[in-house]
Structure 1
Amino acid sequence: MKMARIDVISSCLVGTTSTDATPISRLELTPWDLQLLQFNPMQRGLFFPKPESDQKSYILHLKNSFSRALDFFPPLAGRLAAVPAADNSFFYFVDCNNAGAEFTHADAPAVSVSHILEPKYIPEIVSDLFPLEGYCNCDGLSKPLLGVQVTQLADGVFVGCTANHAVIDGVSLWHFINSWSELSRGSATISKHPVFDRWFPSSMPDDNRLFPLPALEKIRYPPPPLMARVFRFSKESLAELKSKANSEAGTDKISTLQALSAHLWRSTTRCRGEEDDLSSQEVSIMMAIGARARIPLADGYFGNAFNSSFTKMSTSELLERGLGHAALKINAHVAAQSGEAVIKTVEDWVKNPVVFQRFPPRKRSSVVMIASSHRHNVYANDFGWGKPISALSGKIEQFDGNMKLFPAAVAGGIDVEVCLVPETMQAMEDDAEFMEAMLI
């Protein structure tokens, strides 16, 4: 069906509530942050029931509490800055200048929550529920580092956030949203304050923590021919996957997430290979391994803190040796990502800095990437009129093989937002082994 349009009612820049000097005037970017300067931003959003109060009243309330939340997270009201260095390179950091985050109010009175959540595939209109369209992280040199769009639907409200991934990761973004919702409910302060102390390996002296990088280039790609769908795994189906993986591997150390990741990896690879002989091809699963607990970092550490890590094997090994074998490989690889391993990865980057590019919309891919986390505190975000109905991400990050995890609305389950080229998506839906794992 063709969706009705979404109309933007107003859009403005919102700063902190005080014009006084913020607690932090400049935030240095760490290697974790810098490598994402040319990458895609993050988009996360929540559906809510319709408030009983009138639209003008609750929009103003959300805008005011948004400003108060920025008081505690001043970098998100700032801009990226670049200082010239030698050889046409630049030092990049966050100028906490209170230039403002974007707050947009939109209206879609002919679109209901069910119009978006009930179709098999995530509809195109979802792109219009998020602000800062066509954004790349390097746009933060002139555009807001955070944008929020509140869209009034026929029977609900969608709150969508677009955040600069060179400044903030999923843990910190949900920390901000959690804090914003606390303040919106009437709290005078937030329960967990962000920590802006920067982390660098101890091997790096204090006076050598700036990294010259070339001028940033925004690479544009045409819209990819992709399909996205949410697959829902219940607590019971996840327990069965975990039990099967451990039984096949002869162990009890494979986690629920590792079993699910192995299932997604094997299923996607199997469905990608129906048209071609890929038996000798090497395939990969990419996981962002969290660094906070491994180093460890202070609770509330603000910014990126991860280790991008690949597990690889041949297609034939992955498909022929079963779920347990794949899950055990993932388990061993994750176990090897100790604090020392994470630190070494950062130290290696410092010796040879590389800035990731945006994912191109390639026709076919051999990679599955597991992103986001089912452990994020999603369903506690009550802004004052009820808990979320569902969560969804935007389309700006999508590429073939990208899979984002969300906690399910029913405790214990995991929702997996899967993005694939159309022929692979169709094959997945026709794949009995994949689909039956959700029916338990």
Structure 2
Amino acid sequence: MAKKVELISSSLVSATATAASVSRLELNLWDLRLLPVVPIQRGLIFHSSHFQSQQHLIQHLRNSLSRALDFFPPLAGRLATTPHGGDTATFFVDCNNAGAEFTHSVAAAVSVSDIIEPRYIPEIVSSLFPINIGATNYEGISKPLLAVQVTELADGVFIGCAANHAVVDGTSFWHFLNSWSEISCGSESISKSPIFDRCNTAAAAVDNRLIHIPTLEKNLMAPSQWPQKPQKVFHFSKEKLGELKAKANSEAGTDRISTLQALMAHLWRSAVRCQTTNDSTARVILIAIGTRGRMSSLPDAYFGNASYAAALVISESDLLQGGLGAAALRINELISRQSDEAATRDVAKKVEFYEFDGSGAPPPLIMGSSPRHDVYGCDFGWGKPIGVRSGKMQKMEGLVIVLPAAEAGGFDVEVCLAEETLDAMECMMR
């Protein structure tokens, strides 16, 4: 039997509440920067041994999603603009309860092992995510800001979610999924309520009103225009991560280097070693810096985007000849400089949109997501997931997504690079 995904039904799911806790959510600079890029896509994989029945499961998830949206009204809304003349506009979320998309599909010939065992993430995985959320976040003006696709597999279920990245970052995304799973388990409320207030945060000081729509539209680029590269998941056990951290600190003569910093240095050096050009080539790593916990005005439950990218540039020769410790120490020093003041300066910058650079320069390594996200706390009532995958929309060359592994203390790392680079990296990851 051919491995294909059959659409069974698709509908919009609205919140059950008649009055939303927030009617309008302003977008700040960190949100606005992401209008031209693509939604967040993450999918959870479950074995089916604990399900009562598949049909009951689908209806239960649809109903619990509706109740979860009561606590997250922006995700049931749409992007909206207020024109100000001169091709400028204010962007905001209209919490109009237009609904999130819920799709039910079946992939009867696809098993859990078909998803998690191949050396490269198989093409079928991209079909397990909703596609109608729009190619770019800007399309949230007319399309849902949240879309869910529940796919019945031969021996499990895949819950694929896509969320508009101009409305949520990874922390808010997993906050919602954990809250939805609490509702699914029978809770009438959620353990951590999202904070939508923009007035008491440093991000509120930015004037977001002047957005040049023609410039924005010129820079929009659908994922189909991105050079597609294969994606591979590298697994790092708690023991392996401990070895990398110990080696990095020993070589650098310090104890400041964290597990994640050591891993980033290891991945960066491995990728560059496997795609060597010449010693003088400038090599770049972009690291997503979370501002919750750095900025005193941003609480952990802040809903929206609260991160920016910090760049480190090293010549290829320095990166490869300096050793793991030297690279990890440089990363540590970069991250240590990202203070409350640095985050405040970043959010006060002029809005600039990403424009694809098709030059032949080596792509930067872009470190996204976080192993701190509570991925495996998403128990919808039948046990924790056995794995997580991201969708194809975000797969630009050089992107690295770090997530916790199913085993405690381990990390799973999705890397998107040329196939020959990934093949060469494989032996270095062991």
The answer for the alignment partner of 2:286 in structure 1 is 286
Matched, 1:389 2:391: no
What is the aligned counterpart of 2:418 among 412, 417, 421?
421
The answer for the alignment partner of 1:143 in structure 2 is 143
The answer for the alignment partner of 2:115 in structure 1 is 116
Measured after TM superposition, the shift of residue 371 of structure 1 is 0.6
The answer for the alignment partner of 1:34 in structure 2 is 32
Matched position secondary structure for 2:85: coil
The answer for the alignment partner of 2:173 in structure 1 is 173
**When the two structures are superposed, what TM-score results if normalisation uses the length of structure 1?**
0.92
**Aligned ranges for residues 367-382 of structure 1 at < 5 Å?**
367-382=364-379
Contact in 1 for aligned 2:83/2:90 (Cα 8 Å):
yes
The answer for the alignment partner of 1:226 in structure 2 is 229
Measured after TM superposition, the shift of residue 202 of structure 1 is 5.3
Gap change, CA 1:202 and 1:242, over 3 Å in 2: closer
* Structure 2: unaligned runs, 5 residues or longer: none
Greater alpha carbon shift after TM alignment, 253-262 vs 79-88: 79-88
Contact in 1 for aligned 2:79/2:140 (Cα 8 Å):
yes
**Aligned ranges for residues 50-61 of structure 1 at < 5 Å?**
50=48, 51-61=50-60
Contact in 1 for aligned 2:28/2:203 (Cα 8 Å):
no
Contact in 2 for aligned 1:194/1:300 (Cα 8 Å):
yes
Residues 108-154 of structure 1: per-residue CA shift (max 9 Å, x gap): 11110001111110001111110025521001000000000000000
The answer for the alignment partner of 1:404 in structure 2 is 401
The answer for the alignment partner of 1:311 in structure 2 is 312
The answer for the alignment partner of 2:270 in structure 1 is 267
Contact in 2 for aligned 1:37/1:356 (Cα 8 Å):
no
> Number of residues paired by the alignment?
422
In structure 2, distance between residues paired with 1:203 and 1:298: 12
Q: Which amino acid aligns with 1:210?
A: N
Greater alpha carbon shift after TM alignment, 48-57 vs 161-170: 48-57
Contact in 2 for aligned 1:364/1:400 (Cα 8 Å):
no
Matched position secondary structure for 2:244: helix
In structure 2, distance between residues paired with 1:210 and 1:387: 40
In structure 1, distance between residues paired with 2:351 and 2:95: 25
**When the two structures are superposed, what TM-score results if normalisation uses the length of structure 2?**
0.94
Gap change, CA 1:247 and 1:158, over 3 Å in 2: same
Q: Which amino acid aligns with 2:174?
A: W
Q: Which amino acid aligns with 1:305?
A: A
Matched position secondary structure for 2:366: strand
Contact in 2 for aligned 1:287/1:371 (Cα 8 Å):
yes
In structure 1, distance between residues paired with 2:176 and 2:359: 33
Matched position secondary structure for 1:213: coil
Residues 247-276 of structure 1: per-residue CA shift (max 9 Å, x gap): 100101000000000000001111111xx3
Matched, 1:236 2:239: yes
Residues 198-240 of structure 1: per-residue CA shift (max 9 Å, x gap): 16765976xx733211224232343634111100000001000
* Structure 1: unaligned runs, 5 residues or longer: none
In structure 2, distance between residues paired with 1:126 and 1:102: 19
Gap change, CA 1:415 and 1:249, over 3 Å in 2: same
Measured after TM superposition, the shift of residue 52 of structure 1 is 2.7
CA RMSD of aligned residues (A): 1.8
Gap change, CA 1:261 and 1:203, over 3 Å in 2: closer
In structure 2, distance between residues paired with 1:14 and 1:315: 50
Gap change, CA 1:360 and 1:139, over 3 Å in 2: farther
**Aligned ranges for residues 73-88 of structure 1 at < 5 Å?**
73-88=72-87
Contact in 2 for aligned 1:30/1:200 (Cα 8 Å):
no
Contact in 1 for aligned 2:271/2:425 (Cα 8 Å):
yes
Gap change, CA 1:202 and 1:361, over 3 Å in 2: closer
Contact in 1 for aligned 2:203/2:344 (Cα 8 Å):
no
Contact in 1 for aligned 2:198/2:204 (Cα 8 Å):
no
The answer for the alignment partner of 1:198 in structure 2 is 198
Contact in 1 for aligned 2:76/2:99 (Cα 8 Å):
yes
Gap change, CA 1:362 and 1:10, over 3 Å in 2: farther
Measured after TM superposition, the shift of residue 365 of structure 1 is 3.0
Measured after TM superposition, the shift of residue 414 of structure 1 is 0.5
Residues 328-347 of structure 1: per-residue CA shift (max 9 Å, x gap): 00000000000001101111
What is the aligned counterpart of 1:211 among 203, 209, 214?
209
Measured after TM superposition, the shift of residue 80 of structure 1 is 0.3
The answer for the alignment partner of 2:325 in structure 1 is 324
Greater alpha carbon shift after TM alignment, 306-315 vs 47-56: 47-56
Matched position secondary structure for 2:234: strand
Contact in 2 for aligned 1:225/1:361 (Cα 8 Å):
no
Greater alpha carbon shift after TM alignment, 49-58 vs 79-88: 49-58
In structure 2, distance between residues paired with 1:150 and 1:24: 28
The answer for the alignment partner of 2:299 in structure 1 is 298
Contact in 2 for aligned 1:227/1:422 (Cα 8 Å):
yes
Matched position secondary structure for 2:375: coil
What is the aligned counterpart of 1:354 among 349, 352, 355?
352
Q: Which amino acid aligns with 2:295?
A: I
Matched, 1:125 2:128: no
Q: Which amino acid aligns with 2:309?
A: S
The answer for the alignment partner of 1:10 in structure 2 is 9
What is the aligned counterpart of 1:25 among 15, 23, 26?
23
Gap change, CA 1:403 and 1:314, over 3 Å in 2: same
Matched position secondary structure for 2:70: helix
Measured after TM superposition, the shift of residue 401 of structure 1 is 1.0
